[in-house]
Structures are given as C-alpha cells and as structure tokens.
Chains A and B, each alone.
Chain A
Amino acid sequence: MNRSFRDFTMTSHGMDRRGFLKGVGASGALLFTANWNWAQSERKKYGGDAMPGGTKRDPKVFIAINPDGTVDITCARSEMGQGIRSSLALVVADEMEADWDRCRVVQAPGDEALYGNQNTDGSRSMRHWYMPMRYCGAAARLMLEQAAADRWGTQLIEVRASKHSVIFPQARQKFDFGELASRVDEMELAPGAAIRLKRPSEFRYIGKDQTLSCDADDIVSGTATYGADIQKVGMVYAVVARPPVFGSKMESCDDSEALKVDGVLKVMPIEGTMAPSNFKPIGGVAVVAENTWAAIKGREALKIKWSGSPNDHYDSQSYRAAIEDAATKPGKAIRSEGDFDEAFASASKTHAATYYLPHIAHAPMEPPVATALLKTNFLEVWAPTQAPEAARTHAAERVGLPLEKTRVNVTLLGGGFGRKSKADFVNEAVEIAKAFPGRAARVQWTREDDIRHDYFHTVSAEHLEASLDRRGKPTGWLHRSVAPTIVSIFSEDPKTQAEFESNMGHNNIPFAVPNVRIENPEAAAHTRIGWFRSVSNIPRAFAVQCFISELAEKARKDPLKFYLELLGEDRKIDPGDIGDGWNHGENPEKYPVDTGRLRKVLETAAKEAGWGKRLPKRRGMGLAVHYSFVTYVAAVLEVEVEEGGNLVVHKATMAVDCGPQINPDRIRSQMEGSCVMGIGLATTGEVSFADGTAQQSNFHDYTVPRISSAPKSISVHLVDPGRNEELGGVGEPGVPPIAPALCNAIYAATGKRIRQLPIGGQLG
C-alpha cells in the first residue's frame, strides 16, 4: 500500500517519540495522548526541537476562543512576506474545524520560554511548526467537543466539531464555538485524552490551493502596522550618523548647526562596538527630534570627524584580485575523495573556471526601524524583527533589566531577507530611549543608512576544475570557495567558512563523480557580513551550475542530458557521506539528499519550459537546479539579448519539491519572488567598497528589479514527492538556481559566458 500524506504527518518531528504514541484507533487514525511537556529525547535532537526554545504544543498558548465565537490564533513567527501568519493559522484553523473568516491572528511578542523558537530564518517556520500547530488545533477541537458533550450530558463519541460548531447529530443540536468558549477556557485537557489528527481527506485549508491571507485587507488599505507605523504620544524620532567605515569612531562632533534645526531636541553619541560587533550598534551620532524630517535635517547639519579604522583600505577591486588569486591555490581541504590530481592528469579533457560574486545588500522596502519606551523598571520595544528573542535579550542587557521586564512587540516586517535578524537597530532605539525615559523613541534608518551599513551578503571567488573521460563523463571535481565568513560578526577574525556555509552547495554536491576535492582558502572580513536570503547557496549554485553548463559544452552534450548523467542513478545520499554533518539541522535519516528528487524537478522544469525547442535568433534557454533548505528547486529561464545588450527574460519556469505543500499559493508566491530577486542580484546587485566605504547608497546606484525587468511570465510547478517525505523550506531555496539559469540562458542566446556578477554592462 502506498504511504499516504497521513503517514507522513505521523512520522514527522517528535511524533515517534517513546511513550507518546498510544495506538491506532479503529478508524485508522492515529491517536495521541495529551501531554504538553514532552519527555526529552535522549537521542540527538533535530529540526525544531534542536532550536533554542524548541517547539511548544500547548493549545492554550496559541489558541483563544472568544465568547463571540471568534478564534484568536497566536503566531510566534515573524511575518516578512512569506505568509507565515496566514499559513500557520490555517493549519490550526483546519485542525480545530474553525471557520477561517472567524479567525484572527495575534502576533506573539518575543518570549521563547513560552512560545518556543521564534527566530524566523533558515526557511524553517512551516517545516518546524506544522506538526505542533496541527497538534494544538486538534487538541482545541477535542476540548470543544468535550465541552459540548458535557453540556449535553452525552458521550464524547456522540458529538463532533464541524465548521465552527460542535454538532450532536442524534439530538439535532449544535453549539457554536462561542457558546463553548467559557467552558473551554476553564478546561484542562486530561492527561491521557486521545487527540486525533485529521485525515488529509478531511482538510479544508491545508494543502488547498486558495489565497487566504489574514493581512491582505489591512495591507492594501494602509491599516497594517509595520515597524515605522508605531505611534505613541510624545514620541521622539531619531536618525543616526554612522561611521562611513566599519570600525571607525566619532572623534569629534560639532552639533551647533544641527541644534538650530527647528524640531531637533538632542544630539547624542551612540557607542559603537568594534569587530566582532555581533548585533550591537556600529556607533555614531544620533539626532533626536520631534519628527523624522527634523532629525534628517539635523543630521545633515552635523560636522563629524571620524577616526581611522583597520578597514580603511578595504577596496573591492584589490580584494577581488586577492580572493581570486587565493582561489587558484590550495586551501583548507574540507572534503576529499579519490585522487583528484590523478583524475585530472589522466583526463581526456579538463576544464577550469573562476567565478566572482560581489557583496549585495538586502534592501528590504522597509529600512530598519525600531521604537523603544523605557519606563520605570520596564522596557517595551516595537520592532520589525526576525529574531524577537535575540532583540529582547539585547534590549534587556542594554538597560540592565531582566527579560521579564522587557517586552519586544513584533510588527509586520516590510521585508526581511535576513537583514532583520540582526538587532543592531533595536539596540540603537533602546540607547536613545534611555536618554528620553518615559517617552517612546524611534530610530529610523534612511535608505542610505540601509545600503551603506548593511550586514552584507558575502563577496566570493569560486574556482572550479573538472576532468572528463573519453565519453565526456566527469571523473574529477575540484571546487575552491573563498569568501569572508558570517562568523566574523561573532568571533575574532575567522578566515574560513563555518560548517553551515560549506554545506550550502560547496561541500555537499551530490554528483556521481569519483574524485572530489573541496577546499576553502582563507579570506578576512572587512565589513559586517550577514546572511542574505539563501546565504552561501547564492555563490555556490551560481558557480557550480554555470560550470556544469560549461562542462556540458566541453563534453559536447546537451546541458540537460549532461546534468542527468552527472546526477547518476537515483539514490538517497546520507548528507554526512558528502561532507554535510549539518543538513540544515535536520535528521539525515529523514532528510537524505535524494538525487531522484533533484532529477524530477529538473525534468519537470525542462519539460514545462519546452527544453530543446527551436528559438528565434538572440534567444536562449538555460537551466539550473539546486538543493538547499532541504528542498529541491529547478529553474529554466528563456531570455533574449537584444541588439545593444538589453536583456529580456521572456519566461521563467520553476519546479519545486518542498515535500508536502501546506499552502500552495504561498509556495508559488515565494518562488515568483525568489525568481525576481535572483534576476536582480544577477543583473545589477552589487555593493562595492573603496577606502573602506560602501559606494552605493540608494536605488539609483543600487538598482533592484522593477516591473519591466521581471520575467514576462513565471510559471511555478509544484512537484509532489509522491511518497512519504518531510517538509522542506520555501522562503529561500528558490533564489539559488535563478542567477545560473539566467547566465546559462544568456550563453545559449549569445555565446557569451558570464563568470562575474552582476552582469551589468557585460552584454553591451
């Protein structure tokens, strides 16, 4: 018998723990016993359980039923466009038989002791919280049924919840959820109560292709609350002049003109933290005013002398030369199989290429912003943060209050992409609030602040070499990646990649090549490096997928055919066997690297795109496929390079296998957005440094895609893994294959190889 979706759900995180699974009911549905404090597993923890704070499954924490029948569902993950508030809520609503239109989503403040892990990154929210949320919803349904049965004086088995009511078919009676609210509120679910999860055939919202959003109405009418939309009586507004070079400090500041600006209240220094600066401010001078405009005008009037910095000489041109040079020389070996040198020496053909990718800035549409209010013995913060608990910890430390006396309210995020995991802007708001006790203090980053002082996506040189035998089959693979590490924001001058970075497409290539050498030569960081949506997968997928296309040409084979040969026969690889002991934090037994799934997304995208069809002159198709965040994504782009070099993306075809699809519309929307972002970073994304200073500052010189540069069409095909698979990530894995698919398409259209991003003027 084929394993069903239900089987999947039952074997997901934690559900197989000892002592929890009590048996299979007559209906075939698995039953669980109520137990909020799950026994600690003695085995190594994975997934959500391995995260700080773990997962929580107490329905009373996440669900409240109001007397009017509305249901409040608490979302403890941050909403930054991925739709998680709606997606997690629809899971709860479905399991508890609540009517979506009568549910409201309440955003949790930062409190991981209560809510479990809240750090919204790593494409983890649905992957880690699907089962806990189902469990909460099912427990709430059981409580509603029990409450109704008690009121009718009948047995639980005689009643059932359906569409926001509990019905008693025999008596032809029903109670609306609202009528049961007070009873449920007083109830404790008895230990040993049997909680039944729904069968997939009973789902109303989970896996259904519909657009359900708890926020869309508010967004389009301007009533949704983002970080900058917090308003408090007596609030002060600040902007900060930050040192142009990371590591520089304010030596002196003449604020006399600034203080003359109408509305300016105070000019104050913000202390900076040198590298590793973690999430602490980089320092500078804050201008605090009665409104944002006065603060901006006041800042313009400051005369600041900045100190020298160890990073004064950071220059992107010379840095590029240095890392490209390092990429040609041996470095720290991080994976080695067979004998690459021998394979290379005895090859029929060899090929080598070096790729370069610059820093990029996140540039969320909402620049960083936060508001803090320090009262006697209590600090309250409002912030668009991906990491509310980290923000809370930083904020509490900064004022010397215990966590219980510090509240971080999470607003909607106007984009995050990894930028808003870092609490530096929250720390700044708290610092200003300390100077204005009793008054809310907001720090607003301008776009220039955002682009010049980002935690930049790393810069990298990726060098690849390969050997082919007589039949054009790859026999040897060498990949050196040289890039400053994200760890440089946390520890003193590290020069090599962390495990999680190496395992984003560098180490863990699942190809059928016998001789493999993966190396990581050293690189130092001279600015703040941070994770950007899909992180190190961006340079690795770009280099590897472009290189494969180059190799296919060398082997005189169609790229698709060559790729399928490179993948080899379908097999499930233990990530540890290909140097990946991390595996995005997931259990390698449940999440092997499955080359069959890679093959299937690739074949699906190729088929749907019409791979191999004849195209008009100056048009071409390119493909790429990448595994990241335990999800498989392939992309085929069809482009035209017009006379003069103008690039038009006519069609993007994506195929994604992220395991079971909980909210298909939001999976598609994430892929669409990833496609546009991928095209942006490939075509124009670059922040460069000269004299230690970022050279770009706003959307005129840091250009991101506009509507005219988006593909004329994007089609996203959701590939059903067709068997018992675990949930994969969605927010990030769509990005990595786009840039290489685009550049491979450009090659097919023009014969021009792109080995350096951004493409910029290379097509002219």
Chain B
Amino acid sequence: MISIHLNGRDVEVDAPADMPLLWAVRDVLGFTGTKFGCGMGLCGACTMHMDGAPIRSCVTPLSAAVGKKITTVEAVGRDEVGKAVQSAWVKVGVPQCGYCQCGQVMSAAALLARNPSPDDAEIESSMAGNICRCGTYNRIKTAIHTASSSLKGGAQ
C-alpha cells in the first residue's frame, strides 16, 4: 500500500511503486478524468498538478507522488483559477473531441496560477507539451486570455 494525497484526501493505493501515477489513479483508484495519450510524456493528455506544478502522470511513478499534493482535473475546479479556466473553455467552445482537454485545462490552470496575464508567446511555451489532434489551439489561446480577464475582473 502506498499512501498519496489526492484531491485533498489521503488515499491508499494498492499498486507497485513503479506504476505510473496515471494508471494508479485511473485503474486502481478509478478517477478517469486524466487521460492516457502516449505513455512517454509527449502529449500532455495525462497532465496533473503536483504541488501546483503540471506533471505528466504517465511517466511519473507512484512513488514520486508520496508526500506531495496531487490534483487531477476532477478537483481543479475547486479553486478559482481552475474554475475560471473551465468556464472559459466552455464559453469559447474550445473542446472538439475533448479527450486532450483535461490535460489542456490542467496546463492552463497551472500557467495562470503562476502568471495571471500571459501573452501569446508565454501561452505557446507553457502549452507546448499538450497536443490537441483536433487542432483547437487558437481557441485555447483565446480561452486562456478570457480566463485571465475574468480572474482579474473577479479580483477587483
């Protein structure tokens, strides 16, 4: 048994230490919001937050999560930034098939938490690890700006 802190709770995972966090969370714990896309940390579909920073859970062993705060897409909307990102995604109509969008939302939320007003170049570099085969990139940029504006508006 390995104990991790997932989405605000301590949970016990009956899995080997080298199992990627992705499969532990999906297959063993049953949270399926985080997606499998490549298994090599190349596509970002499996993005989670570890102590607030985006990680590729398909190449992060379960053991590396011990003692860290892990957040998945199921819980990212509990904070203001994640919620703003999700709302902007819906408003702008970003998702097409949507499979990569959980990862996109996680990367965008991590970006905005760190940099509340990213410009296009900063968005491109922060989102470069997340592939969208449907090609929603232009709307992703728009939605990040939308979320950024709404967060600033909310703070006034």
> Which residue numbers of A lie inside 8 Å of B, CB to CB?
79-83, 211, 213, 215-217, 219-226, 228-229, 231, 237, 262, 291-293, 296, 363-367, 412-417, 444, 446-448, 665, 669-670, 672-677, 680, 698-700, 704-708, 710-714
Contacts and interface: CB of A to CB of B under 8 A. Distances in A.
Given A672-B138, A673-B134, A221 B38 contact: no
Given A412-B97, A698-B40, A293 B139 contact: no
Contacts of A711: 138
Contacts of B39: 296, 446-448, 698
A706 B37 contact: no
A220 B82 CA distance: 10
8 contacts: A223-B33, A231-B32, A673-B96, A674-B135, A676-B137, A706-B129, A706-B131, A707-B130
B145 interface: no
Interface string B13-56: 00110011001101110111111111110110100000000000
B70 interface: no
A669 B37 CA distance: 22
Contacts of A699: 38, 40, 42-43, 131
B117 interface: no
Contacts of A80: 97
A86 B64 CA distance: 41
A222 B135 contact: no
Contact of A707 (B23, B45, B127): B127
A446 B23 CA distance: 13
Closest 7 A/B residue pairs (Cβ): A222-B33, A676-B135, A414-B99, A81-B97, A81-B96, A219-B98, A222-B73
Contacts of B65: none
B116 interface: no
A82 B37 CA distance: 20
Nearest to B86: A220
Contacts of A225: 32
Nearest to A230: B32
Interface in B103-156: 105, 120, 123-125, 127-141
Contacts of B96: 81-83, 669-670, 673
A215 B133 contact: no
Q: Which of B89, B95, B139 has the most CB of A within 10 A?
A: B95
Contacts of B20: 293
Nearest to A670: B96
Contact of B40 (A220, A222, A365, A447): A447
B139 A365 contact: no
A665 B96 CA distance: 11
B102 A704 contact: no
Given A79-B97, A211-B90, A698-B39, 13 more contacts: A213-B90, A219-B98, A220-B102, A365-B133, A365-B134, A412-B97, A669-B136, A675-B135, A677-B134, A698-B38, A699-B38, A710-B135, A714-B138
Contacts of A237: 27
B134 to A, nearest CB: 5
B42 to A, nearest CB: 4
A216 B36 contact: no
A432 to B, nearest CB: 16
B93 A213 contact: yes
Interface residues of B, number: 63
B80 interface: no
Nearest to B72: A222
A414 B35 contact: yes
B101 A219 contact: yes
B74 interface: yes
Contacts of B139: 669, 672
A216 B127 CA distance: 20
Nearest to B74: A222
Contacts of A707: 123-124, 127-128, 130, 132, 137, 140-141
A42 B144 CA distance: 55
A419 to B, nearest CB: 11
B133 A415 contact: yes
B32 A222 contact: yes
Contacts of B120: 712
Nearest to A289: B27
A81 B110 CA distance: 25
Contact of B132 (A365, A366, A446): A365
Contacts of A670: 96
Nearest to B92: A211
A211 B93 contact: yes
Contact of A292 (B27, B31, B72, B77): B27
Nearest to A445: B36
Contacts of B74: 221-223
Contacts of A446: 39
A698 B131 contact: no
Contacts of B94: 216
B91 interface: yes
B100 interface: yes
Contacts of A211: 90-93
A141 B33 CA distance: 38
Interface centre among B20, B32, B89 (most CB of A within 10 A): B32
A365 B135 contact: no
B109 to A, nearest CB: 10
Contact of B86 (A221, A415, A700): A221
A364 B96 CA distance: 12
A286 B139 CA distance: 40
A415 B132 CA distance: 10
With a 10 A CB-CB cut-off, give which of A262, A366, A670 has the most chain B CB atoms. A366
A451 B136 CA distance: 22
Contact of A365 (B72, B97, B140): B97
Nearest to B140: A707
B21 to A, nearest CB: 10
Contacts of B98: 81, 215-216, 219-220, 224, 412, 414
A589 to B, nearest CB: 34
Given A211-B91, A228-B32, A704-B133, A415 B99 contact: yes
B93 A665 contact: yes
Contacts of B36: 228, 292, 367, 444
Contacts of A221: 33, 73-74, 77, 86
Nearest to A448: B39
Nearest to A652: B138
Given A221-B74, A222-B34, A710 B137 contact: yes
A220 B95 contact: yes
A412 B99 CA distance: 9
Given A228-B32, A231-B30, A220 B138 contact: no
Q: Which of B89, B129, B138 has its CB near the most chain A CB atoms (within 10 A)?
A: B138
A642 to B, nearest CB: 15
Contacts of B134: 81, 365, 415, 673, 676-677
Contacts of B31: 222
B135 A415 contact: no
Contact of A708 (B38, B124, B132): B124
A220 B90 contact: yes
A364 B97 contact: yes
Nearest to B129: A706
Contacts of B38: 447, 698-699
A444 B74 CA distance: 22
B1 to A, nearest CB: 14
Contacts of A448: 39
A330 B45 CA distance: 48
Contacts of B15: 291, 293
A705 B128 CA distance: 10
B45 A710 contact: no
B33 to A, nearest CB: 2
